[in-house]
């Protein structure tokens, strides 16, 4: 079994959330069934296909762990396309057309004005051919046969070929549109499954006849519902939320992938730590037909929940070298990004800004330093410290705990103080309390 994901290099050079989702589903399907996941770079458009954009695609996929077993580039396969094109031309399945875009648009408006579908009308055999124009080329659909297949998500599909326009497969300048080269690639590479958005359903119908015209069995298709956001369909042309934004924000790739693997399915959306775990229960039977609503805030929530579950071994290489497992277990419940760890680690092991306290709070910190000096720091020091201060000062609640937190951490809020105080050590705690008492 082989599945393929395709990317056309874009001027942004980065993957947006929609094509990340499609690549992920191709990858998970291949991983679950022991198949090959292939990457095809659609770089026939030389103006758009600069090498740095291709490198950015590879970089984004590697960051997410979506490693392809092999890669092909369409710009290196022109000889194959030319050979198969000539074979289809000899069989009468591709033909030359000479209409200008303006003529086609006028004809489309006429048909719509008559209440007819705007389907391309083939010229008759005796039509005059202009001498001053280069032709573009269309694939000739077989109008006498309905196009049918069983979609892995949408179920039974049926198209009347007469209601489809013969698709353009080659431009006047000889450059390729993606429909025919993609089919030629899929035949040559032995692709068995294709996962794509439902906006490609009509293209798939036309491509099924292309497979058959080339003497090949069409692959199985899975057309998934589109992602939508508050402003409507997500589009890479609109610079939608994607890999570059995620990386800049310090989001774990598995937070995004966990959401995209389950959104629009009957399965619960929850943080999953590995691609293998995501692949183990990946099944198109779980996918619905309704548009999948995407909210970037959900990624942020999943990112925090994922961090709260990660073992120290999973993050050790990205933490300060001095950080220990005890530090990670103490701080991870308070993290939204992994980058939040280092400032909190500094609270444990470094210096904090001495806060400005009111006069009575400074007196309380002086007493707290004295009490801390006499405590056994190995036996619940926070509980012992606050217990003695409560008894001697009569303070409780926020009046007691808030100035102590400010003095010891320099923060208004954060992890539980019991763990922080024990982990920062007696000497550091006393030093901070004395410093706060002198402000």
Domain segments of the chain as ranges: 2-228, 229-307, 312-348, 351-437
CB 147 within 8 A of CB 205: yes
Rounded mean pLDDT of the chain?
89
Q: Where are the beta strands (DSSP E) in 359-417?
A: none
Binding residue ranges: 236
Q: Domain 229-307: state its class.
A: mainly alpha
On the question of pLDDT at 47 being above 80, the answer is no
Specify the pTM. Answer: 0.85
Pick the CATH number of 2-228 from 3.40.50.620, 2.60.120.330, 3.30.70.260, 1.10.1740.10: 3.40.50.620
Give the pLDDT confidence score for residue 295 in this predicted structure: 85
Whether the domain at 2-228 and the domain at 229-307 fall into the same CATH topology:
no
Three-state DSSP state, 365: helix
- Provide the percentage of residues in the chain whose pLDDT is more than 70: 92
Binding residue ranges for ATP: 236
Query: For domain 351-437, which architecture applies?
Result: Orthogonal Bundle (1.10)
Residues near 195 by beta carbon (within 8 Å), at least 6 away in sequence:
3, 5, 22, 25, 26, 29, 221, 222, 224
Give the pLDDT confidence score for residue 240 in this predicted structure: 57
What are the pLDDT digits (tens) for 224-281? 998 887 555 554 433 457 788 888 889 999 999 999 999 999 999 999 999 999 999 9
| Of 371 and 118, the one with more pLDDT | 371
Q: What is the mean pLDDT of residues 168-185?
A: 93
What are the pLDDT digits (tens) for 382-427? 999 999 999 999 999 999 999 999 999 999 999 999 999 999 999 9
d(CA 149, CA 129): 37
What are the pLDDT digits (tens) for 292-326? 888 888 999 999 999 999 999 999 999 999 999 99
Give the pLDDT confidence score for residue 237 in this predicted structure: 39
Kindly give the pairing relationship between strand 155-159 and strand 147-151: antiparallel
15 — pLDDT class (breaks 50, 70, 90): confident
Give the pLDDT confidence score for residue 223 in this predicted structure: 95
Q: What is the mean pLDDT of residues 3-15?
A: 64
């Amino acid at each position: 079994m082989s599945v393929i994901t395709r990317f056309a290099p874009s001027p942004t050079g980065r993957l947006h959330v929609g094509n990340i989702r499609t690549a992920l589903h191709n990858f998970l399907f291949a991983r679950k069934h022991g198949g090959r996941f292939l990457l095809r770079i659609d770089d026939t458009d030389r103006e758009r296909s600069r090498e740095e954009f291709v490198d950015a695609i590879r970089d984004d996929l590697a960051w997410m762990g979506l490693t392809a077993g092999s890669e092909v580039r369409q710009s290196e396969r022109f000889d194959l396309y030319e050979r198969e094109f000539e074979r289809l031309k000899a069989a009468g399945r591709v033909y030359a057309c000479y209409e200008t875009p303006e003529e086609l648009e006028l004809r489309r408006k006429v048909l719509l004005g008559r209440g007819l579908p705007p389907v391309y009308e083939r010229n008759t055999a005796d039509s005059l051919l202009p001498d001053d124009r280069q032709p573009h080329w269309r694939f000739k659909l077989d109008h006498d046969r309905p196009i049918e297949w069983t979609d892995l998500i949408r179920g039974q599909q049926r198209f009347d070929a007469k209601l489809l326009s013969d698709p353009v497969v080659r431009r006047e300048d000889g450059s390729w549109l993606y429909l025919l080269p993609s089919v030629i690639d899929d035949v040559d590479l032995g692709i068995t499954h294709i996962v794509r958005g439902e906006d490609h359903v009509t293209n798939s119908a036309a491509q099924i006849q292309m497979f058959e015209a080339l003497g090949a069995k069409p692959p199985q298709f899975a057309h998934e519902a589109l992602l939508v956001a508050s402003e409507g369909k997500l589009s890479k042309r609109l610079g939608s939320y994607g890999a570059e934004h995620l990386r800049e924000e310090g989001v774990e790739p598995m937070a995004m992938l966990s959401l995209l693997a389950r959104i629009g399915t009957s399965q619960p959306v929850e943080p999953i730590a590995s691609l293998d775990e995501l692949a183990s229960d990946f099944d198109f039977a779980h996918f619905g037909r309704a548009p999948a609503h995407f909210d970037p805030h959900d990624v942020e929530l999943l990112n925090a929940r994922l961090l709260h579950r990660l073992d120290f071994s999973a993050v050790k290489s990205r933490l300060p070298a001095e950080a220990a497992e005890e530090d990670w277990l103490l701080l991870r419940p308070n993290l939204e990004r992994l980058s939040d760890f280092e400032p909190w680690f500094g609270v444990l092991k470094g210096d904090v800004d001495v806060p400005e306290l009111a006069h009575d709070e400074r007196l309380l910190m002086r007493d707290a330093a004295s009490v801390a000096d006499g405590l056994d720091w190995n036996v619940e020091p926070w509980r012992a410290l606050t217990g003695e201060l409560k008894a001697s000062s009569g303070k409780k609640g926020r009046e007691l705990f808030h100035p102590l937190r400010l003095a010891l951490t320099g923060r208004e809020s954060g992890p539980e103080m019991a763990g922080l105080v024990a982990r920062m050590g007696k000497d550091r705690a006393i030093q901070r309390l004395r410093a706060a008492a002198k402000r």
